[in-house]
Amino acid sequence: MTASVHDLITLSPKDSCNTKLAAGPWDFDTVPGYGPGSSQADRLPDPVSRPGQLPERYQLMPEPELQERILAAKATLGEELVILGHFYQRDEVIAHADFVGDSFQLANAALSKPEAKTIVFCGVHFMAETADILSAPEQAVILPNLAAGCSMADMADESSVETAWEEICETYGVDPENTLPDAEGKLSILPVTYMNSSAALKAFCGRHGGIVCTSSNASTVLEWAFERAHRVLFFPDQHLGRNTAKAMGVPLEQMPLWNPRKALGGNTAEQLREAKVLLWHGFCSVHRRFTVDQISQARAADPGVKIIVHPECPMPVVDAADAAGSTDAIQKFIAACAPGDRIGVGTEINMVNRLAAQFPDRTIFCLDPVICPCSTMYRIHPGYLAWVLEELVAGEVHNQVSVEPEVSVHAKVALDRMLAAKPKA
């Protein structure tokens, strides 16, 4: 028997893949901050920024008191502070954000308040690193819980990408510094990193004629790349790379997967020579949960249902959906639907629930019956936000994310290219 749309939307949060996390992420966190699933490859912040575990009093504080304290600290800090929040963040935290958006919008937001002394980033580590690179040098960027990393970002580390690059360049017979275009005026290959990657990989792209993309501007970025190179190495998310390049007409046979544990990524030299997009073997554990079967069930229960998914979902899921797009595109799609419409969404549950509350005249539900938050994003509990804000009022900066200048300078080259590559309407 197929589930009705009603069944799909009335599953309670106890069906979540990780209920403990919802209650108290500090159970998972370690001193000085990186817990399982966070970007453990990232450099720990400078000791002067005083990383630390959440003091016990904040762990025990009732939710209403945390909310009051956050509001009071925000009021005291006034224009000195700007809080940025990603769409996947929990509501109790998003309520305090000055800007809410997708990763492209938040990168722009980090640039837009040079008068603020501190940017508190309620997102994940790679987003805070990006804000630090793009913001003014005197601004401090704080990630309230340093354990809020991204497991996808951890799937491509600097040394594996360097090794892959050398092997690839050797196969194409080009210098790994990759500075010389051929007679057609094009490079043999250039690197494209998804925003969900460490600052070191963004710097790698900056140094090798490459660029950063987000899920909202990935096709503009690939067009930019193909004007300058015959091929791209796309990391870490294979699905975003495949979905975007396929929509641009690149045949699947020209998109080999690069497995960093295998020689030539598990490919023959011939396959690499034919390739247009080399896809790194990375994925998002939240978006990988979405399946074609879930879409078929939703359509069987309600043939009029509309389906939109994030492009981090596997290709067959994107193909079976009516539309795919970044978190901002998903929000716009739902806003453009009519009252009474039913919409199944393939993305993170906090965002889906918020959209359902925002548009009560539409039926909005998550395609995945096991409600799974982005467990690292979810580590920004209001307890952490209250703590870092009250410490700021007391003149202390905790959990500052600061990228080393020699990394930052090259990463900024690739990020500036990304900012210029506007998402398509």
Q: Which residues are annotated as a binding site?
A: 86, 103, 150, 194-196, 215, 284, 310-312, 327, 374
Under the binding rule (CB under 6 A), the answer on residue 376 touching ligand SF4 is yes
DSSP structural state of residue 302: -
Of 116, 124, 307, 309, the one binding ligand SF4 by CB under 6 A: 124
Candidate segments 164-172, 316-324, 371-379, 391-399, binder of ligand SF4 by CB under 6 A: 371-379
CA angle 306, 312, 316 (to 5 degrees): 60
Measured from the Cβ of residue 207, the count of other Cβ atoms closer than 10 Å reads 17
Does 152 participate in binding ligand SF4 (rule CB under 6 A)?
Answer: yes
Q: Which residues bind ligand 13P (CB under 6 A)?
A: 102-103, 196, 214-216, 284, 312, 326-327
Tell me the closest approach of the beta carbon of residue 8 to ligand SF4, in angstroms.
20
x/- mask, ligand SF4, residues 190-219, rule CB under 6 A, reads ------x-----------------------
Burial of 264 (0-12, 13-18, 19+ CB in 10 A): middle
The residue to which tokens 């209650």 are assigned:
23
Nearer to ligand SF4, 133 or 380 (CB): 380
Q: Which is nearer to ligand 13P, 86 or 398 (CB)?
A: 86
**CB of 189 or CB of 213, closer to ligand SF4:** 213
Nearer CB in complex with ligand 13P: 89/402: 89
Q: Specify the stretch interacting with ligand SF4 by CB under 6 A; choose among 28-36, 218-226, 318-326, 369-377.
A: 369-377
Give residues 83-102 in contact with ligand SF4 (rule: CB under 6 A): 88
Partner in contact with 294, chosen from ligand 13P, ligand SF4, none, beta carbon below 5 to 8 Å by kind: none
138 burial (CB, 10 Å; 0-12 / 13-18 / 19+) is exposed
Among positions 286, 298, 305, 324, the unique one binding ligand SF4 when judged by CB under 6 A: 286
Taking the complex as a whole, how short is the minimal distance between the CB of residue 137 and ligand 13P, in angstroms? 26
Binding residue positions for iminosuccinate: 86, 103, 194-196, 215, 310-312, 327
Helix axes 199-207, 125-134, angle to 10 degrees: 50
Angle (CA) 190-123-398 rounded to 5° is 110
Q: Does 364 bind ligand SF4 (CB under 6 A)?
A: no
| Rounded Cα gap, residues 245 and 313, in angstroms | 14
Find the binder of ligand SF4 among 120, 150, 222, 245 (CB under 6 A). Answer: 150
Closest separation in Å from C-beta 288 to ligand 13P: 11
Q: Which residues are annotated as a binding site for [4Fe-4S] cluster?
A: 150, 284, 374
Which CB atom, from 87 or from 204, has the smaller least distance to ligand 13P?
87
**Continuous H helices in 95-191:** 103-111, 125-134, 158-172
Check: CB of residue 86 under 8 Å from CB of residue 377.
Answer: yes
**Angle of helix 103-111 relative to helix 327-336, nearest 10 degrees?**
110
Q: Single out the residue of 86, 124, 137, 127 nearest to residue 107, CA to CA.
A: 127
From the list ligand 13P, ligand SF4, none, pick the one residue 400 interacts with, judged by a Cβ distance below 5 to 8 Å according to partner type.
none
Cα–Cα dist 194/215, whole Å: 8
Is residue 172 a contact partner of residue 164, using CB atoms and an 8 Å limit? no
Whose Cβ is closer to ligand 13P: residue 240's or residue 364's?
A: 240
The three state secondary structure string of 74-96 is: HHHHHHHEEEEEECCCCHHHHCC
Give me 58's structure tokens.
Answer: 């904040």
Closer by beta carbon to ligand 13P, 305 or else 418: 418
CB contact at 8 A, 182 and 159: no
Q: Kindly tell me which of 171 and 376 has the beta carbon lying closer to ligand 13P.
A: 376
Rg (CA), the chain: 22
Give the span between the Cα atoms of 87 and 368, in whole angstroms. 18
Smallest distance from ligand SF4 to CB 393, Å: 29
The CB-of-153 to ligand SF4 minimum distance in angstroms stands at: 6
Asked whether 120 and 165 are in contact (CB, 8 A), the reply is no
Shortest separation between residue 286's beta carbon and ligand SF4, angstroms: 4
Binding site for ligand SF4 (CB under 6 A): 88, 124, 150-152, 196, 284-286, 312, 348, 374, 376-377
